[in-house]
Amino acid sequence: MPEILPEESSSSSSTTAIATAATGDLKLNLFGKYDVGKLLGCGAFAKVYHARDIRTRQSVAIKTVNKAKILKGGFTEHVKREIAIMRRLRHPHIVRLHEVLATKTKIYYVMEFAKGGELFTKVTKGRFSEDLSRRYFQQLISAVDYCHSRGVYHRDLKLENLLLDENWDLKVTDFGLSAVSDQIRPDGLLHTLCGTPAYVAPEILEKKGYNGAKIDIWSCGIILFVLNAGYLPFTDSNLMAMYRKIYKGEFRCPKWTSHGLKMLLTRLLDTNPETRISIEQIRNDPWFKKGYKEVKLCIDEEFELKNSGSELLNAFHIISLSSGVNLSGLLKSLGGKDTVDVERFVSAESAESIKQRIEEVAKAEGMRVTGKNGAAVRVEGKNGKFVLVMQINRLTEQVVIVEVKRKEIGAGPDRDIWKQKFKPQLSEFFL
């Protein structure tokens, strides 16, 4: 049964939820934007649900991630990297990330919905024809080539991470173990051990570093073999025995495999990464080229999520809003030893409207607006005993999150001025 914590189901005005114990499905209205329903799958840190955009009725998949588990398990960087990677990828054969939302305890990835489900499920019902295997392999290589051209290495390509849309076209998903060029060490290699045992490349087993592009190509070879054969090329009930087979490259193609396909598989599953076939060579392979149509890419619609009120609040900032995590930089110059009070609100008003209102109140109270930086406003009382900083970040296209940090020192005339003067004038803006 999905974890629905009290503050999500009761105190959040943007999210209401009902969990159905019998099926694990979740009936939830998320930020007034999505009706969330059937559970599609789950893992150690996330659950994926089918949902519909309330406005367009378009189907989407929503991946829910528990922030407490991420922080406790030390996986914050993984989440940051996955979202950063998915933001930069816009390809017909890669699952698209539409937006990232959050409550106090969860992060929600709103993604393209792949109606056809996992490619793995289809293969378990029987091997594919050579032509169909070629079609999916061509789509896979197009997506992987696109990723590599943008410095992204998936590192966990397998049938379970390949989905099908309503047209039965392939969609690559799950970039949780992906790496980017920035992670490459001075030796030119990646060193993090990762991947699924049956798909892992032999050079990873050596623990000496590896080329991210070459291990993705190896995994593509495993996938192509399974599509054609209906079973894995390297398998054994004993994991170490299977690893020995992988390291030695001991596999045999089924008798129905054509000569052209057999030659390509031999080059894909070359245990030497230096001589293993490259993406460019795959594109020029006679078997691969048959019926191949180059994917036409639209102008990239990549959206950069920066720390600005005019842009979307990204998941890294959302994570930092968890209780107990330090929010640095917003109130650095506040003096004194008094506690800084923090309040947060959600609003459908624009950042400009909210800033204008707080400036009007400050002027009426004879206070100084000493700093305006993007979506931040700083206000100081005449005697220096009241300081307020308001930061506004966009949460969705329609909603902003407003964070107010203030310090009120002593018991003078400025005490409680936030609650008495500012908050009443801003309350109409808050949802």
Return the active site residues: 156
Collapsed DSSP state (helix, strand, coil) of residue 96? coil
Tokens representing residue 273 in the block: 């990464």
Beta-strand ranges (E) seen in 138-216 are 152-153, 162-164, 170-172, 179-180
Q: What is d(CA 399, CA 311) in angstroms, rounded to the nearest whole number?
A: 11
Nearest to 307 by CA among 324, 327, 281: 327
Instruction: Say how many C-beta atoms besides its own lie within 10 A of residue 283's C-beta.
Output: 15
Angle at 154 between CA 2 and CA 394, to 5 degrees: 55
Tokens representing residue 327 in the block: 């929010």
Q: Give me the DSSP letters along 307-357.
A: SSTTSBPPHHHHHHTSTTS---SSSTT--SSSPPEEEEEEESS-HHHHHHH
Q: Which residues contact 179 (CB under 8 A, 6 or more apart)?
A: 81, 152, 153, 155, 190, 192, 212
Buried b (16+ CB within 10 A) or exposed e, 386-425: bbbbbbbbbbbeebbbbbbbbbbbeeeebeebbeebbbee
H/E element, 66? strand 59-66
Q: What is d(CA 363, CA 358) in angstroms, rounded to the nearest whole number?
A: 9
Q: Which residues contact 271 (CB under 8 A, 6 or more apart)?
A: 202, 246, 247, 248, 249
Question: For residue 390, which phi and psi values (nearest 5 degrees)?
Answer: -115, 125
Q: Which residues contact 366 (CB under 8 A, 6 or more apart)?
A: 382
Only one residue has tokens 């409550």, namely: 103
Angle at 44 between CA 147 and CA 196, to 5 degrees: 50
Q: What is d(CA 357, CA 367) in angstroms, rounded to the nearest whole number?
A: 13
Are 406 and 341 within 8 A, CB to CB? yes
Are 413 and 421 within 8 A, CB to CB? no
